[in-house]
Every structure is written in C-alpha cells, then in structure tokens.
Amino acid sequence: MYDYKDASAPRILAIVNQKGGVGKTTTAINLAAALVEQGARVLLVDLDPQGNASTGLGVAPAQRQLSTYDLLVDEVSISAVVQETSIPGLLLCPASSDLSSADIELVSREKRSFLLHDALRQPDMAPFDVDYVLIDCPPSLNLLTVNGLVASHAVLVPLQTEFFALEGLSQLMLTIREVRQAANPTLRIEGVVLTMHDLRNRLAQQVESDAREALGDLVFKTTIPRNVRVSEAPSYAQPVLTYDTASKGAVAYRALAREILARNPLSDRNKPEEEDHGKEI
Ligand code: ADP
Ligand code: MG
C-alpha cells in the first residue's frame, strides 16, 4: 500500500457540508485550479452523484466511462479511473449518476467506510505524483461522505454567509467526531471558508463575525465574495481562474490556496501537525 508517512504522499482534504448549494463544488474546482497555478499537482475526486465538479471541469457524462462508482463499488484500480483535464496538473476522478445507488449497494460490505481510503492508497496512485487530493462530497452525511472523511487528513468546510449558516455545523462536527472515534483518529479540521460573501450586506457581516467568534482560527482569513463570474465559469467548463483570471472570485480562490499552502508547504506537506485543530462547537 502507498505509504502515507512518506513526505511525497499527497495531502487529502474532504470538502464537506451536508447543506447543498453552499459552494462545495465551486470551492473544489477553483481551489484545485489555484493550487495548480501555485505549483501543486492536484487530483479532484468527484464524490457527488450529480457530477457537477466533473461537468464544471469539462468532462461531460459521455466521457466518464469509469467513475468514482467503479472505484468504490467494483474496486477498479484508480489508474483506470483518473482522467486528465484541460488544465495541466489537474487530474479528475469523475462521478456518474450511478453513484447515487452506491450507498445502498455498499451497506452490507464490511469495509464500506474504507473504500475511498483504500483506493487512494493503492500503489498505482504513486505515478500520478499529486500533492493534494480534494474530495468534493455530496450534500448529505451519507456513506459516500463518510468515505470522504475516512480517506482524508483534514476537512474543509464551505459556509455560506446566510442566516442559519452556523446551525448545521454542529451536526457536521458530531459526524467528524464519530469518524475520528470509529475510523480516522487523526482527522483534522483544515478550516471553514466563508462563501458567497457580500460585504455590503449587514447580515453577512454579522454571520462572519459570529463565525469568527465561535470558531476562531478555524475560519480562513480569506472569504470568497459572491461574484457572477464564479457562477458563469462552469458553463464554460472552466474554473473561474482561467475563465476570468482577474475577477474577484479568482483573486479570492488564489488567496485561499496561499493560506492552505502556507500551513502545509509543498516541501513538507505530510509532516505531522502539532496542533489539534479539532475545536468543539
Ligand atoms: P454545493 O456544491 O455546495 O452544492 P455549488 O458550489 O454547486 O454548491 O454552488 C451552488 C451555486 O452557487 C452554484 O450555482 C454556483 O455557481 C453558485 N456559487 C458558488 N459560489 C459562488 C460565488 N462565490 N459567487 C457566485 N455564485 C456562486
Ligand atoms: Mg456540489
């Protein structure tokens, strides 16, 4: 099995929030593109049956002969499933709609929570030589998301700055705690990123200050503004970084990537972390 104590092994981040429409997929695509721009090689694993990350990167359903479904359910080798994208250095493990039945098909498997964990640690991951794996999780805390959490070093939580934003976080933290106890004791919280932020909106400002007060350093300094270019980019099958490279959205995702790379430099990305970021909320 691929040795994840080896400094050359990638850092694996699950992008999780059980709410839909909060910016998980947008963050997966654009953070991946920003990390690549800053010198990393990145594999994006699309774990959502809707396949929005795959579509947004220009891989249409017809081009997805093998998908995350085959990786998990049929244990097809990862080298057969991963595809290149139009962005050099950004690789994709695409999703397909059959992933929506994976939950039920996998229930009786003994290792059902470890399937993605094991797939990402196959020896045939090594030749891809990626620095980061980003996992775009579905909008629920189902078995697919649990696979994402068990497979990962840390969790990145996009939080839309709107009225009930913080409410769902306690359920997510409970799930993270359960996964730590049952399967992945070293799982960290990488951070919470505020998305679709509108600085002119008083409510959004209030949600930001509440989040920073409750979560402290867990909240990234960078916030992602609401920006129409960000929402247009997927229909041009591109990250906003290439679709409109000077847009506010592109600038923000670059800043987010810099924050993440500053904490986990490419040179020593798998040194054990000293602090436990697992704050209870
Ligand atoms: P999730 O994956 O959590 O369901 P998405 O990333 O698909 O959420 O985002 C939901 C919708 O919001 C999409 O239509 C997306 O284009 C839009 N969106 C996400 N982030 C932004 C942003 N910063 N500015 C404008 N629209 C955004
Ligand atoms: Mg999504």
* CATH code of residue 49: 3.40.50.300
Residue 7 confidence (pLDDT): 58
Residue 109 confidence (pLDDT): 93
Closest C-alpha to ligand 1, atom 16:
231
Question: Distances from the Cα of 92 to the Cαs of 47, 80, 89, in angstroms?
Answer: 11, 11, 10
Q: Report how far residue 58's alpha carbon sits from residue 55's, in angstroms, rounded to the nearest whole number.
A: 5
Residue 244 inside a domain? The answer is yes
Report the domain count for the chain.
1
What is the Å distance from ligand 2's center to 185 Cα?
Answer: 26
- The CA-CA-CA angle for residues 142, 186, 134, to 5°, reads 55
Residue 135 inside a domain? The answer is yes
Closest C-alpha to ligand 1, atom 4:
21
> Residue 186 corresponds to which tokens in the numbers above?
């070293």
Residue 1 inside a domain? The answer is no
Residue 265 confidence (pLDDT): 83
Number of Cβ atoms within 10 Å of the Cβ of 153: 22
Residue 277 inside a domain? The answer is no
Per-chain residues with Cβ under 5 A from ion ligand 2? 24-25, 52
Residue 199 confidence (pLDDT): 86
Residue 66 inside a domain? The answer is yes
Q: Ligand 1 — pocket residues by CB below 6 A?
A: 20-26, 52, 139, 195-196, 224, 226-227, 230-231, 249
Residue 168 confidence (pLDDT): 85
Residue 280 confidence (pLDDT): 53
Extended beta strands in the chain, E state: 11-15, 42-46, 83-84, 90-93, 132-136, 154-160, 188-195
Structural contact between residues 16 and 172, judged by C-beta atoms closer than 8 angstroms: yes
What is the Å distance from ligand 1's center to 10 Cα?
Answer: 26
Residue 130 confidence (pLDDT): 96
- Give pTM, 2 decimals: 0.94
Domain that residue 152 falls in: 11-263
Residue 275 inside a domain? The answer is no
Q: Which atom of ligand 1 is nearest to the CA of 158?
A: 3
Mean pLDDT of successive 10-residue segments in the chain (281 residues)? 64 96 98 97 97 97 94 95 97 96 92 96 94 97 96 97 84 95 96 95 92 94 98 97 98 98 76 50 54
